[in-house]
Each structure stands twice: as structure tokens, then as C-alpha cells.
């Protein structure tokens, strides 16, 4: 009788335990996942996703009105294309088990075994949350490149390009730096907290190659006065959305809701504020007036430069880094007029140069191994190695990808399509109805 009673009392407990999946192993996994860290990573992923529409407005405002929808489409379609490439193969190439320090294995092909359990990369959050967070970085990076060839590339060529580039260029570099490859902590030791090399130098080098291969816009630079931004409020709105989203971009890269996230969040804001003045002060001095486009672009330059450094520097050094990056990017953008390459929306001057400035200054201001903290020049050398290797890979691989696409479908629209505008010629619609 007593045995039956005990069985009757224990049965519901056993059933409930099994229903919840609370085997000892499952219980240990659930204990490893921290709800605060998970919430922060999911919010950060949403913030980084929001940056891609922000980029659409930023770029869309900078082009002529006849190309605004086509330019916005470049960013928007990346959300679709790269989500698929990342899920199928990009993630596993970036974060699968390391193969010779070069690329990840295919263990996570199609998000196989990417579940609600923790991963080695972020042991306090579900694996799938980490994978989705990283997906948002993979989406915005090729979309950045589009600013270099805005107003003149075929849409079909662009879709093929970002699909191939996200797999063949972005994923390997992400592995080198963050996935256990030869550039990161397990190899050379280059520091990149949130994507100075992986995102900005990588995309910026590709942008330079693309601008040269696609060629100048018809009429540039002789008719550059007719190619002014058509909607400056869009530019400022887009920059503001990018600034807002960047708190997730950098803060979320701590991969936990902790002090590192708070530091990265804070120095991101401080450096961006300083970069505005790094840009508009020389602009003001040279042209007599500070511009809204200049302030917005300077802010983006600061966001770019602080990205590799965000988890490693202090607020006082963020002011210096931000101001220097704003000023350097201002003068770098002007080089396109001297060297006659048509980087339509200044991807090279802001993301390429800003990424390099940020990566190198990380070696100066990093609190553990930086030059000003007594670490000598060793870390600066590691940073320089990461910069050079990323540039070489991005340049060579981007050239090959674009060459193949040019042969297959052609990179550039014809003269009539460019004159009409890409909104009508590529998408059959116009942004503004008279």
C-alpha cells in the first residue's frame, strides 16, 4: 500500500520532469544559458538588422532622385539574399570547426545542429541566437559595397555579386578573425572586437575594386554638380539609424550582457560624437560652412573606426580615435577627385580608410597590449598584418568574382538605362510621382 502511495506521488513528478526535457544533461545546458545574455544578443541582432534599412536611407539620400529606389533595393535585397546564403553555407564556413586556420568545416551546413543549446563561441546564449546575430553582420557588409558603384550596376549582377561575395570573401575572413582562424586570438593575434577588418576593411577594399571595374558614372567628374544628394533629410535619418543600430553592432559583440558590453556601447557613442567634429571642422575651415551631409558622414566614419576597438579602449581614447578618424576620412574622401576613381558614395574614403584607422589605433589604445599602455609596437604590428592580409584577399577575390559576373551577365547597365535612371530601367517604378 505504501509502495503504491509513493508511486502515485512520484509519477506526476517524473512525468513533469520528462515533459520538460529535464534530463541531467539538459538541465546542465539550461543552466549554462543566461537569460540576460540571451536577451541582449537577440536585441543586438535586431539592432544590427535595423542598420541595413538605415544604410538604405543613408545611401538613398545621397544619390539622384532617379536612382533612389534602386539604391534602397541594394540594401533591402541583401536582407533576403544573404540570409539564405548564410543559413545554407556562410555560417558553417565562418564558424564551423576550423580547417587549417583558413575556413570552417561543413558541420553546420544548412544550420544543421544550430539549436537552442549553447555553442563554444557564446557559451551563455543559444547557438542559434549567436548564428542569427552574426548573420546580421554578414548581411550589411556586402550592402556597404554597393555605395561604390551606385547608379550604374545591373541589378541581376548585383544580386549575383553579393551572393558570391558573402560566401567566398566575407565568410573566410570572419573565420580568420572570429572563428578560430589564423588572424585572431588563436593565430597572429590581431584584435577586432566587432568588425573593423571583417566588415569595413573587407568591404572597403572590395568597393575600390568594384568602382574601378564598373567604371565612372557617365558625366563624372565633369558634371559632378548635377550628381548632388537629392534628399539630405534621408541622409541624416539613415546616419541616425546606423548610429542607433551600432550599439547592438558593437555592444552585442561582447556576446554577453556585462561590463564589456557597457564599455563597447559607451565608447561607440563617444567616438562617434567626436568624429562629427573631426569631419566638420576641416570642412568648415575649407568651405566656410559645416554641412549636414558632412556631419552625418563624419558620424559614420567614427562608427566605423571605433568598431575594432570598442571592447578594448577607454572613453578618453575614444575621443581621440573618433576625432582622428573623422578628419582622416574627410581628407581621404577628397582623394577620389585627385585620382579620378568614382566611388559614388564614399565607401572607400569612409569604410576602407576608417576601418584601417580604427584597426591601427586599436594597437595604440588597447588597454592590455596597446602602445600607450606599455605594450610596445607588437600589437600594432599584429593589427597592421591583419589589415594587409584582409586587403589582399578582398582585392583578389572581389576582382575574380566581378570578372566572372561581367562575362556571364555584364556588370553595367547601358547608356540609355543609366540616363533614364535605375529606378525605371531596372525596377520599372519611380520614387516620386509628379
Residue-wise pLDDT tens digits, 207-259: 999 999 999 999 999 888 889 999 999 999 999 999 999 999 999 999 999 99
Say yes or no to pLDDT of 45 above 70: yes
User: Which residue in this structure is represented by grid cell 559576373?
Assistant: 405
32 lies in a domain? no
Examine residue 97 and state whether it is found in any structural domain, yes or no.
yes
Per the CB < 8 A criterion, the answer to whether 140 and 61 are in contact is no
What is residue 72's predicted lDDT score, i.e. its pLDDT?
A: 98
pLDDT bucket at 263, cuts 50 / 70 / 90:
very high
Report how far apart, in Å, the C-alpha atoms of 20 and of each of 6, 208, 327 are. 22, 54, 57
Q: Which residues contact 33 (CB under 8 A, 6 or more apart)?
A: 116, 117, 118, 124, 125, 126
Which range has the worst mean pLDDT, 26-35, 52-61, 185-194? 26-35
In a domain, 15, yes or no: no
Q: What is the domain extent for residue 376? A: 38-421
Residue 74 belongs to a domain: yes
Residue 8, domain member (yes or no): no
Assess if residue 33 is contained within a domain. Answer: no
Of 198, 203, 207, nearest in space to 94 by CA: 198
State the pTM of this model: 0.92
- Using a pLDDT cut of 70, give the percent of the chain over it: 93
CATH number for the domain including 249?
1.10.3430.10
So what's the pLDDT on residue 115? 96
| Spatial separation of the C-alpha atoms in residues 91 and 425, rounded to whole Å | 35
pLDDT computed for residue 31 by the predictor? 61
Q: Averaged over 125-141, what is the pLDDT? A: 98
pLDDT digits (tens, 9 = 90+) for 360-404: 999 999 998 999 999 999 999 999 999 999 999 999 999 999 999
At residue 248, the pLDDT reads: 98
How many angstroms separate the CA atoms of 304 and 307, rounded? 5
pLDDT for 29: 54
Residue 12 confidence (pLDDT):
41
23 inside domain:
no
Average pLDDT over residues 167-185: 97
Query: Is residue 14 situated within a structural domain?
Result: no
How far apart CA 361 and CA 319 sit, in angstroms, is 12
Name every residue whose Cβ is closer than 8 Å to that of residue 378 and which is 6 or more positions away in sequence: 369
Q: What is the pLDDT of residues 273-319, one digit of tens each?
A: 999 999 999 999 999 999 999 999 999 999 999 999 999 999 999 99
Looking at residue 224, what is its pLDDT?
Answer: 84
What pLDDT digit, counting tens, does each position of 328-341 carry? 999 999 999 999 99
Q: Is the model's pLDDT at 25 over the cut of 60? A: no
Q: Domains in the chain: how many in total?
A: 1
Amino acid at each position: 500500500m505504501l509502495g503504491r502511495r509513493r508511486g502515485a506521488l512520484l509519477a506526476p513528478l517524473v512525468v513533469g520532469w520528462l515533459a520538460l526535457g529535464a534530463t541531467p544533461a539538459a538541465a546542465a545546458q539550461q543552466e549554462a544559458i543566461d537569460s540576460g545574455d540571451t536577451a541582449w544578443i537577440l536585441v543586438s541582432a535586431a539592432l544590427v538588422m535595423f542598420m541595413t534599412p538605415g544604410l538604405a536611407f543613408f545611401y538613398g539620400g545621397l544619390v539622384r532622385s532617379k536612382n533612389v529606389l534602386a539604391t534602397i533595393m541594394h540594401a533591402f535585397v541583401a536582407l533576403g539574399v544573404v540570409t539564405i546564403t548564410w543559413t545554407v553555407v556562410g555560417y558553417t564556413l565562418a564558424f564551423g570547426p576550423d580547417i587549417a586556420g583558413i575556413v570552417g568545416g561543413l558541420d553546420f551546413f544548412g544550420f544543421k545542429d544550430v539549436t537552442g543549446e549553447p555553442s563554444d563561441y557564446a557559451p551563455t546564449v543559444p547557438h542559434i541566437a549567436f548564428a542569427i546575430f552574426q548573420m546580421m553582420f554578414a548581411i550589411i557588409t556586402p550592402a556597404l559595397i554597393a555605395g561604390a558603384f551606385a547608379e550604374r550596376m545591373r541589378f541581376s549582377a548585383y544580386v549575383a555579386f553579393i551572393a558570391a561575395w558573402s560566401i567566398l570573401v566575407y565568410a573566410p575572413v570572419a573565420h580568420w578573425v572570429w572563428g578560430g582562424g589564423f588572424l585572431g586570438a588563436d593565430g597572429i593575434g590581431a584584435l577586432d572586437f566587432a568588425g573593423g577588418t571583417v566588415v569595413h576593411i573587407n568591404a572597403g577594399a572590395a568597393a575600390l575594386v568594384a568602382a574601378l571595374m564598373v567604371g565612372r558614372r557617365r558625366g563624372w567628374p565633369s558634371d559632378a554638380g548635377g550628381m548632388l544628394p537629392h534628399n539630405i533629410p534621408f541622409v541624416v535619418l539613415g546616419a541616425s539609424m546606423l548610429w542607433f543600430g551600432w550599439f547592438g553592432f558593437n555592444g552585442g559583440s561582447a556576446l554577453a550582457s556585462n561590463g564589456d558590453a557597457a564599455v563597447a556601447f559607451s565608447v561607440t557613442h563617444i567616438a562617434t560624437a567626436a568624429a562629427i567634429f573631426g569631419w566638420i571642422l576641416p570642412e568648415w575651415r575649407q568651405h566656410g560652412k559645416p554641412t549636414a551631409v558632412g556631419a552625418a558622414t563624419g558620424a559614420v566614419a567614427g562608427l566605423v573606426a571605433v568598431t575594432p576597438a570598442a571592447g578594448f579602449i577607454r572613453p578618453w581614447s575614444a575621443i581621440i580615435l573618433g576625432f582622428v578618424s573623422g578628419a582622416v576620412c574627410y581628407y581621404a574622401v577628397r582623394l577620389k577627385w585627385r585620382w579620378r576613381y568614382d566611388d559614388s558614395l564614399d565607401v572607400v574614403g569612409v569604410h576602407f580608410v576608417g576601418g584601417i584607422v580604427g584597426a591601427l589605433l586599436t594597437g595604440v589604445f588597447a588597454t592590455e597590449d596597446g602602445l600607450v599602455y606599455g605594450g610596445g609596437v607588437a600589437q600594432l604590428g599584429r593589427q597592421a598584418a591583419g589589415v594587409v592580409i584582409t586587403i589582399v584577399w578582398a582585392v583578389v577575390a572581389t576582382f575574380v568574382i566581378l570578372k566572372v559576373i561581367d562575362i556571364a551577365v555584364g556588370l553595367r547597365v547601358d547608356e540609355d538605362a543609366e540616363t533614364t535612371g535605375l529606378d525605371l530601367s531596372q525596377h520599372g517604378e519611380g520614387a516620386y510621382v509628379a
